[in-house]
Amino acid sequence: MRSMSFIPGACAGMALVAGVLCAAPAAQAGVHDLQISGQWIRMVVPVRPAAGYFTLKNTGDADVALVGAASPGCGMAMLHQSVSQNGVDKMVPVKKVKVPAHGAVSFKPGGYHIMCMKPTDAVRPGKVVPMTLKFAGGGTITADFPVKNAMGK
């Protein structure tokens, strides 16, 4: 028996008894239609904020909203967008980023990025840091983000 108030976190425990019925609760709608690719973190100066990039493809029939990110390597992770206003480049916090149905969104240098606010020693070129993307409705996707230098190497 599922309801609209179904909580994904409760699913993990219930999965033991509910089995496959728990695979696609209503609150996770859309997340299973997402594919992440090209993910990486750009580290320019150690300990200074680093940026995470990736592409999300949505093969489903419903828009999905990315609303946050978290990583043990980042201290705090925020959604940012680089913008140019009156010739001045700056970054602004973003509350949500839509991944349109049958579409895709790319986080890349000069645009959307995950700001890794307080990188740990794990954020060094050659290493890999897990990153969890959080979506409206409570769904999450976790992927390994390789760390590269400013040149993307």
**By the criterion CB under 5 A, which residues form the site for Cu ion?**
80, 91, 115
6 touches 25 (CB < 8 A): yes
The residue of the chain with the least Cβ separation from Cu ion equals 80
Q: Specify the residue, 14 or 91, whose C-beta has the smaller distance to Cu ion.
A: 91
Smallest distance, Å, CB 86 to Cu ion? 19
Enumerate residues 6+ apart whose C-beta is below 8 A from 98.
Answer: 63, 64, 65, 66, 105
Cα radius of gyration rounded to whole Å, the chain: 17
Q: Which is nearer to Cu ion, 112 or 135 (CB)?
A: 112
How do strand 50-58 and strand 112-116 relate by DSSP bridges?
A: antiparallel
Give the nearest distance from C-beta 51 to Cu ion in angstroms.
6
Nearest distance from C-beta of residue 116 to Cu ion, angstroms: 9
